[in-house]
Amino acid sequence: MHRYSLVVLTLLLMVACNENLVYSEYVPVSNGTWKKADTITFQWKDLDTLNKHHVFLNVRNDERYEFSNLFLITELEAPNGNTQVDTLEYEMALPSGEWLGKGMGSVKESKLWYKENIGFEDSGVYRLRVLHAMRKNGTVEGLEELLGITDVGIQIEKVK
């Protein structure tokens, strides 16, 4: 009974800590190998059209990830068909090699800013497509396989 109470309390604290969360989803990357051709797609609808939101990309990596940064290309498509394309760079590790993400053990999770104070004024389905744009120094071609990324997620929070 004591263990059950502890689990319930933990779940309640997790929910209470982020009451502004309106959407969250994770997509696992097959065998922790993100292929260049694999686009990760999220879609959502029916968010509050009057208030602003913060959007985060959540990336989980393990010890096989060999870079200190991460380049992503995103395409945010609104219900009216307008699409906004961004090339983003995120710092994943300190110069010492220490991961910036949180977590115990070999998997670290990084919560990365994507959009701040964005409005979802149009009702309907929004789509976010994410693909990696990593390459080795001195090369032009992108990596066909990016090792060490285990999951990619999205988190949308209502602005207080």
Identify the CA nearest to 115 among candidates 17, 28, 27, 23: 23
The values of phi and psi at residue 69, to 5°, are -135, 175
* pTM of the entire predicted model: 0.85
Query: What type of residue is 17?
Result: C
CATH topology of domain 21-158: Jelly Rolls (2.60.120)
Identify the CA nearest to 155 among candidates 12, 56, 85, 63: 56
For 48-81, the pLDDT digits (tens) are 889 999 999 999 999 999 999 999 999 999 999 9
For 7-58, the pLDDT digits (tens) are 444 444 454 567 899 999 999 999 999 999 999 999 999 898 899 999 999 9
List, in sequence order, every residue forming a beta bridge with 66; answer none if it has no partner: none
The values of phi and psi at residue 129, to 5°, are -105, 135
Q: Is the pLDDT of residue 142 over 80?
A: yes
3-state secondary structure of 13: helix
Structure tokens, 117: 């104070």
> What are the structural domain ranges in the chain?
21-158
**CA 26, CA 151: separation in Å to the nearest integer?**
6
Identify the CA nearest to 58 among candidates 142, 138, 155: 155
> Do 92 and 61 meet the contact criterion of CB atoms below 8 Å apart?
yes
